[in-house]
Amino acid sequence: MRARCTQVSAAVMAAALLASGCGGDGGDGTEVEVFSWWTGGGEEAGLDALIERFEEDHPDVEFVNAAVAGGSGTNAQAVLEGRLQSQDPPDSFQGHAGAELQDYIEAGYLQPLDDFFGEQGLQEAMPDQLTEQITYEGSVYSVPVNVHRSNVLWSNPGVLEEAGVEETPETLDELIEALEAVEEETDAIPMAVGAQWTVDHLLESVLLGSLGTDAYNELWEPGADWDTPEVTEALESFEQIMEHTQEESAAEDWQEASRRVSEGEAAFNIMGDWAAGYFDEVGATAGEDYEWAPSPGTDGTYMWLSDSFTLPEGAPNEDAARSWLELVSSAEGQDLFNPVKGSIPARDDTDPAAYEDSAYLSEALAEWQDGPELAGSFWHGVTVGNRWKNDVDTAVGLYLGDGDLDTLQGALHEAAQAE
């Protein structure tokens, strides 16, 4: 009896192994597998809207949503890495546009999409600086779906009034003055930050605000010189701002830091514009509980990051994958996705009416279509690859421990030389 049980269970296990090993991708164009880390909130809802439209347009193609949850994509990236290495790519996968894809491109995992950009007229539809900044050795490898802004200063009008700060700070010096006023006049936290990565995020906005767009962009050229008085000055501002952050920041993520602003526990927070979506979610009112402005010194510049879709080398259903890319790059597709996700379209010829419901989005879109200067976000993978990004993160983390600004600048300089 025992032996029979074992035989049966062995047979079941073998069948399961076979099924998992050989199931799926027929490669006959009847399905398309799209890999992403959009598994919750507005992101998932936006993706669902796209999927629905895709299935309407292509009733004969089955859409396989291969989304992996968790860790703003880090889990998904670990899974993806394994699939790409074992030559089992999905038909298309999500990735931050820009240098974050560099490793994949160098490994030969991705197909260049220059012909696709030509066919669809995307060069004309998207800002030149955007396509320039995602071009790697003369080719583009991914199709941007949306644009987020990283350099946004969120503030609480009530706290600012109490502190006697009448105008939103427009330069870093004004910001520091305002922080001091809040520190003295109120019980609120002057500048809310969260865990280490939100400090990286703050740093990029401070660098941009202090150095200006061109000098900021040049910092991320391999071998760039970080050992300059200008960078020192920027880092000194950064240090002064950090002096006004809350002690418990390491135990909080960006949501808590942003929530402190909308609930009047903090005066300022520098966070990407996904905070607008979060404020909606927690029921905060724009203009009353929170206000926004470009982070000090960065007016007229969009520090952008973007989600994009790729076409892997050896995608089993390439034609269907191209249809998917066609949808996500079209004005119609972007207007379906972005209002729900809480971002603005990467194209600058879409319909503003789709974004009217959100005060933030409609303003952001108007600014985007107005043709701002563009600077790539380093933390969100636009300007630097994973190694450099991680070196900066480590340097910032060590600085949070020892507070030594010279060491920080030295480490940042070294990280730039290592590329």
Partner 1 sequence: MSPHTAQAGAGTEVRPRTPGRLHRIRVRSRTWLPGLLMVTPSILLIGVFVYGMIGWNTSLALSDQHAPVQDGSFVGLTNFAELWQESRWPAAVGNAVVFTVVFVGGALVLGWFLGLMLDKGLRGEAAFRTLFLAPMAVSFIATGVVWRWLMNPAPAERATGLNALFVQFDLEFLVNDWWTAPNMGMAAMALPAIWQLSGYIMALFLAGFRGVSEELREAARVDGCSEWGVYRHVVMPQLRPVTLSAVIILGHMSLKVFDLIIAIAGQQIVADVPAVYMWTTVFEVRDPAKGATIASYLLIAVAVFVIPYLVWTIRKERSEGR
Contact region with partner 1 (CB under 8 A), list: 240-248, 287-295, 352-360, 365-373: 240-248
CB of 214 to partner 1, least distance (A): 29
**184 scored as a contact of partner 1 (CB under 8 A):** no
Contact region with partner 1 (CB under 8 A), list: 113-121, 172-180, 343-351, 401-409: 401-409
> What is the spatial order of strands in the sheet that 92-96 belongs to?
62-67, 31-36, 92-96, 307-310, 142-144
Contact region with partner 1 (CB under 8 A), list: 147-155, 194-202, 295-303, 307-315: 194-202
* Cβ proximity to partner 1, 331 vs 398, nearer residue: 398
Contact region with partner 1 (CB under 8 A), list: 78-86, 115-123, 201-209, 311-319: 78-86
* Residue reference for tokens 């507070």: 403
* DSSP state for residue 247 in the 8-state scheme: G
Out of 39, 196, 228, 323, the residue judged to bind partner 1 by CB under 8 A:
196
As a three-state string, the secondary structure of 13-61 is HHHHHHHHHHCCCCCCCCEEEEEECCCCHHHHHHHHHHHHHHHHHCCCC
Q: Please, are residues 328 and 315 in contact by the beta-carbon 8 Å criterion? A: no
Give the pairing of strands 31-36 and 62-67: parallel
Contact region with partner 1 (CB under 8 A), list: 24-32, 61-69, 102-110, 210-218: 102-110
259 in helix, strand or coil? helix
CB of 414 to partner 1, least distance (A): 10
Nearest Cα to Cα of residue 146 among 257, 285, 36, 299: 36
Q: Please, are residues 264 and 187 in contact by the beta-carbon 8 Å criterion? A: no
Q: Binding mask 107-146 vs partner 1 (x if CB under 8 A, - otherwise)? A: xx--------------------------------------
**87 scored as a contact of partner 1 (CB under 8 A):** no
Q: What is the C-alpha to C-alpha distance for residues 56 and 34, in angstroms, rounded to an integer?
A: 17
* Cβ proximity to partner 1, 58 vs 413, nearer residue: 413
* DSSP state for residue 171 in the 8-state scheme: S
- Give the count of alpha carbons within 13 A of 385, CB side only: 14
144 in helix, strand or coil? strand
Out of 21, 287, 401, 406, the residue judged to bind partner 1 by CB under 8 A:
401
Out of 28, 167, 402, 406, the residue judged to bind partner 1 by CB under 8 A:
402
Which residues in the 7-36 window bind partner 1 by CB under 8 A? 7, 9-10
Q: Please, are residues 91 and 321 in contact by the beta-carbon 8 Å criterion? A: yes
Contact region with partner 1 (CB under 8 A), list: 52-60, 125-133, 190-198, 234-242: 190-198
Nearest Cα to Cα of residue 102 among 131, 128, 141: 141
Q: Binding mask 242-261 vs partner 1 (x if CB under 8 A, - otherwise)? A: ----xxx-xx-x--------
> What is the spatial order of strands in the sheet that 266-271 belongs to?
189-191, 266-271, 152-155, 291-294
Q: What is the C-alpha to C-alpha distance for residues 291 and 167, in angstroms, rounded to an integer?
A: 12
Out of 88, 106, 115, 263, the residue judged to bind partner 1 by CB under 8 A:
106
CB of 61 to partner 1, least distance (A): 32
Token pair, residue 416, equals 């730039």
CB of 106 to partner 1, least distance (A): 7
* Cβ proximity to partner 1, 3 vs 22, nearer residue: 3
**3 scored as a contact of partner 1 (CB under 8 A):** yes
* Cβ proximity to partner 1, 10 vs 366, nearer residue: 10
Using CB under 8 A as the criterion, which residues of the chain lie in contact with partner 1 when the complex forms?
2-3, 6-7, 9-10, 74, 77-78, 81, 85, 103, 106-108, 187, 195-197, 246-248, 250-251, 253, 265, 386-387, 390, 394, 397-398, 400-402, 407, 411
